Chain A
């Protein structure tokens, strides 16, 4: 028995090699089975098929391209601009282009027939290059070539069975019908995998989208994924809201502005998203340029999407505020991708961003500004797109900085894109108009997981970069610019005056104190004079009394009336005393 047990185990997959598609389909399209690619005209079906084959050749799987519509030469020309050299591959026997042309006008039908010749030709083509892959573009053309639909349908059924038996991985392209996936209902024959391509126009901007409608027996992304066709072929962007499972870094990265780092307790978290919103000319680009420079100084790659200025213009303008980016632009640390938002659709922008991330793997990504996306899509779409982008950036641990222009008259704390909930750190720049001046101020509206400053700082662009100045906060409110300087001057003048005044008062008091002290000294002198007088009087009095008593004694003696017996007591002593001298 052939190894049929393999088929039971799990559906083998064939990597298409088309960027992004293999991620959506978890490994590619079903190996050895047909896959239906349907879509309207010009949505990239043929290119899808060609790229599938070209990538296959690179993976060592030769292929056959069956062209029902285009001549091989036309085909080769059409895809040459994408770098696919079909003729070279054909020469190397890696690719076989089978041109099947049915000219209805020269064919008539009579009686029974089948498509055996088609099978033989396909079989021969497959054998010639040993093909593992085959593309039938566009098989439905057969329906216009033959009038007997019953035969045709039976033959198609046989064809798909035959392809499976040959074990080739097939892609069948089909034009999308009204209300149905394909005009001729081919999906009933191809039941394993159906992919729809779409090219939608919204506000004059076209966007390509891809959706895996059906993939039997495997998990796959069911959303519509944008894709782009550029010089490298098809690029599908498996960007969707993958979920909130990203890890959170505790590492802080500097904003490039020391004062701002201080306000944010050291900077923003790695992998976080910072929004800088503000009115026109508030300095959003300048702040984001600091982010870029800081990243480059750390030796990290940074990619800057500029939707308003050209790289040269940015380099020149930022140099004027002391942020020299030219060196980093030259050595490749900083990549500047500038485009007008209206150049492509929203999805294309997302695609470009995604592609740049994949090719350049930056650590810091700056978009200046996101509000410009609103000129090409409605806010809801922009929000969805940014949500997908933010989720993707977080998964990649890329620190993102978005700027957003707030149109005058709107509330400052609203971004048009309504993305505040996606943002980790929101810096708000605003103008303060006062005394015929416009000055800039910045504050941190929010910063998740950060004890951030609540202060509003004056934001000054100098030739040495951005500085955040402590603003004047006083009775007259927040003052900035020259009124701050004037107020500060006024204050310092007042302080000097106050100082002088105090000194004068102190001197006066000192003088008064001295005067009082003098008075006190005079009074003391007076008092001591009085005391002396008093003492003198007292002593005089005593002297007088003593003298009087002595006189009395003397007089008594002289009168001989001293009473001898009146001795006890004082008299005799007094007498003794008096007698002693």
Chain B
């Protein structure tokens, strides 16, 4: 086992991530930065990130039942997961994505 954790799903599966933000609020900016950092560190290149600005299109927030901002939605691999917050705690993100066992 290397230090690098493996994604929970199939290794070949690409991650599909959506990050819901509102404009350029500090929390949104922080979340974008934290997400990019996380992906670079833990997901090799097998991921796509879609950043959605709820302020620009509020209707789109209904699609994934978004209430809080920022919210990160992992559409793939299943099961779908949602993480709300600015993603500053990487360990929590790893646990949440089942990349590290919940203690």
Instruction: Write the residues of chain A forming the contact surface with B, with a CB cutoff of 8 angstroms.
Output: 98-103, 106-118, 120-121, 123-124, 142, 145-146
A100, B68: Cα distance in complex, Å:
11
Q: Which residues of A lie under 8 Å from residue B92 when comparing CB positions?
A: 108-110
Given pairs A110-B93, A116-B68, 18 additional interface contacts (CB within 8 A): A100-B67, A103-B65, A108-B93, A110-B83, A110-B84, A110-B87, A110-B88, A110-B92, A111-B31, A111-B86, A112-B88, A114-B27, A114-B68, A116-B54, A117-B71, A118-B68, A120-B58, A121-B67
A123, B83: Cα distance in complex, Å:
24
Q: Which residues of A lie under 8 Å from residue B27 when comparing CB positions?
A: 111-114
Q: Which residues of A lie under 8 Å from residue B49 when comparing CB positions?
A: none
Q: Are A145 and B67 in contact (CB under 8 A)?
A: yes
Q: Which residues in chain B, 47-103, are within 8 Å of chain A measured between CB atoms?
A: 54-55, 58-59, 61-62, 65-71, 79-89, 92-93, 95-96
5 smallest A-B Cβ distances: which pairs? Answer: A111-B85, A124-B58, A111-B86, A108-B96, A120-B58
Q: Are B88 and A117 in contact (CB under 8 A)?
A: no
A115, B54: Cα distance in complex, Å:
11
Q: Which residues of A lie under 8 Å from residue B68 when comparing CB positions?
A: 113-118, 146
Q: Are A109 and B67 in contact (CB under 8 A)?
A: no
Q: Which residues of B lie under 8 Å from residue A117 when comparing CB positions?
A: 20, 22, 54, 58, 61, 66-69, 71
Chief secondary structure at chain A's binding surface = mixed
Tell whether B25 is near chain A: CB-to-CB under 8 Å: yes
A103, B59: Cα distance in complex, Å:
19
A110, B85: Cα distance in complex, Å:
5
A142, B65: Cα distance in complex, Å:
13
Q: Which residues of A lie under 8 Å from residue B81 when comparing CB positions?
A: 106-108
A103, B79: Cα distance in complex, Å:
13
Q: Are B22 and A109 in contact (CB under 8 A)?
A: no
**Considering only CB atoms, which chain A residue lies closest to B73 in the complex?**
A106
Q: Are B67 and A115 in contact (CB under 8 A)?
A: yes
Q: Which residues of B lie under 8 Å from residue A100 when comparing CB positions?
A: 65, 67
Q: Which residues of B lie under 8 Å from residue A123 when comparing CB positions?
A: 58
A61, B71: Cα distance in complex, Å:
34
Q: Are A120 and B22 in contact (CB under 8 A)?
A: yes
Q: Are A121 and B58 in contact (CB under 8 A)?
A: yes
A253, B66: Cα distance in complex, Å:
69
Q: Are A107 and B82 in contact (CB under 8 A)?
A: yes
Which residue of A99, A113, A118 contacts B70 across the interface (Cβ within 8 Å)?
A113
Which residue of A98, A110, A120, A124 contacts B96 across the interface (Cβ within 8 Å)?
A110
Determine how close the nearest CB of chain A comes to the CB of B102; give it in whole angstroms.
Answer: 10
A118, B67: Cα distance in complex, Å:
5
A98, B87: Cα distance in complex, Å:
28
**Considering only CB atoms, which chain B residue lies closest to A116 in the complex?**
B69
- Determine which residue in B20, B27, B85, B86 has the highest number of CB atoms from chain A within 10 A of its CB, and name it: B85
Determine how close the nearest CB of chain A comes to the CB of B52; give it in whole angstroms.
Answer: 10
A107, B84: Cα distance in complex, Å:
7
Q: Are A113 and B84 in contact (CB under 8 A)?
A: yes
Determine how close the nearest CB of chain A comes to the CB of B75; give it in whole angstroms.
Answer: 12
A106, B30: Cα distance in complex, Å:
22
Q: Are A111 and B67 in contact (CB under 8 A)?
A: no
